[in-house]
Amino acid sequence: MTPLVEVAQAAKEYWLGKVRVPALKGVDLVVKRGEFLAIAGPSGSGKTTLLNLIGCIEMPTSGTVRIDQVDIATRSSDELAVIRAVKLGFIFQNFNLLPVLTALENVEYPLATRDISSRERRRHAQEALASVGLATFERHKPLELSGGQRQRVAIARAIVTQPLIILADEPTANLDHKTGQDILALMKSINQQRGTTFIFSTHDQKVMQMANRIVMLSDGQLARAA
């Protein structure tokens, strides 16, 4: 089976004025369909940067990133937007729900450009929200939900498009320990039931242990594969 994600010698540099900041220094990573992969590493090690490359949000300075066999460097920003909309789902540390929309509308948002009836859109969103256990919170605005509930809404928003890969950058960092583990357990059950590939970053040892595989980043390089 061909790998879903192939990162080969990927490097990423930023410029702070005239100072070169190497965030990633030649990373090789292959992720197969159905994996539940953790990226661990200290702050500033490049976790977010690596996830952004895989998420087609940033381009590598050198090296290649292939998502479902597509070299992302060869695609325009609109084509990348389509890849993100169709193949990828995102979960963020700060939940990043749109505050003016209700929970249901937030989950519906990624379907906005899909060529399906609004009723069908609504039904998909309701199903996704129900599958994270928030069927009764459809009309709540994000500010009326707890952190854990917000992250569940974000998970529903990520799965509603049935993506191949869900990328989660420190999904539990803003949650207490218990809630964080519940969120991870929810992600894991989605991974097992639907076969969706998950790649998430974390500092948290306990959270890390729930992964099938952990890769360690340190100073922009993969330290070892466990």
Partner 1 sequence: MITLRLAIRNVFRHRTRSVITLAAIAFGCTAIIFVGGFFEDILYRMQESYIKAHTGHLQIYTRGFFDKGSARPFSYLIDHPDDIIALVKKVPGVVSVARRLQFSGLLSTGENTVSCFGQGVEPDYEPSVRLTDRSAAGRNVALLGGAIIESGEPLNANEPYHIILGRGLAKGIDAKPGDGLILVSHTIAGSINAIDATVAGIFYTTSKAFDDYAVRLPLGTTQQLLQTESVQSLVVMLRRTSDTDRVKLTLRELFVQRHLSLEVKAWQELNDEYGKSKAFLWRMFLILKAVVATIVILSIYNTMNMAVVERTSEIGTIMALGTTRQGVWQLFLLEGATLGLIGGCLGIAIGTAITLLIRHVGIPMPPPPGASMSWISEPVIVPSVLVFSFVLSLITSLISSFFPAYQASRLSVADALRHA
Ligand X SMILES: Nc1ncnc2c1ncn2[C@@H]1O[C@H](COP(=O)(O)OP(=O)(O)OP(=O)(O)O)[C@@H](O)[C@H]1O
Q: Which residues bind Mg ion (CB under 5 A)?
A: 48
Binds partner 1 (CB under 8 A): choice among 9, 62, 118, 192:
118
The distance in angstroms from the start CA to the end CA of the chain is 22
What minimum distance in Å lies between the beta carbon of 108 and Mg ion? 28
What minimum distance in Å lies between the beta carbon of 147 and ligand X? 18
Quick one: what does residue 43 bind among Mg ion, partner 1, ligand X, none, with the CB cut-off 5 to 8 Å set by partner type? Answer: ligand X
Tokens, residue 24:
């990633």
What minimum distance in Å lies between the beta carbon of 210 and ligand X? 18
Q: Which helix H or strand E contains 147, and what residues bound it? A: helix 147-159
101 binds partner 1 (CB under 8 A): yes
The residue among 49 and 102 lying less far from ligand X, judged by its C-beta, is 49
Longest Cα–Cα distance of the chain, Å, equals: 53
Tokens, residue 60:
């590598």
CB atoms within 10 A of CB 42: 12
Instruction: Return residues touching ligand X (CB under 6 A).
Output: 14, 16, 21, 23, 41, 43-49
Quick one: what does residue 58 bind among Mg ion, partner 1, ligand X, none, with the CB cut-off 5 to 8 Å set by partner type? Answer: partner 1
173 binds partner 1 (CB under 8 A): no
The whole-angstrom separation of Cα 85 and Cα 133 is: 24
The residue among 39 and 104 lying less far from ligand X, judged by its C-beta, is 39
Q: How many residues bind partner 1 (CB under 8 A)?
A: 28
Quick one: what does residue 152 bind among partner 1, ligand X, Mg ion, none, with the CB cut-off 5 to 8 Å set by partner type? Answer: none
Q: Which helix H or strand E contains 167, and what residues bound it? A: strand 165-169
Q: Hey, which bits of 68-112 come out as E strands?
A: 70-71, 88-91
- Give CB contacts under 8 A, 24+ apart, made by 179-187: 179/146, 179/147, 179/148, 179/151, 180/204, 180/207, 181/206, 181/207, 181/210, 182/148, 183/148, 183/151, 183/152, 183/155, 184/210, 185/210, 186/132, 186/152, 186/155, 187/36, 187/91, 187/155
214 binds partner 1 (CB under 8 A): no
The whole-angstrom separation of Cα 87 and Cα 119 is: 23
Q: Which stretch binds partner 1 (CB under 8 A): 26-34, 73-81, 174-182, 196-204?
A: 73-81
The residue among 60 and 102 lying less far from Mg ion, judged by its C-beta, is 60
Which chain residues interact with partner 1 by CB under 8 A? 48, 52, 55, 57-58, 77-78, 81-82, 84-86, 90, 92, 94, 96, 98-101, 105, 108-110, 112-113, 118, 157
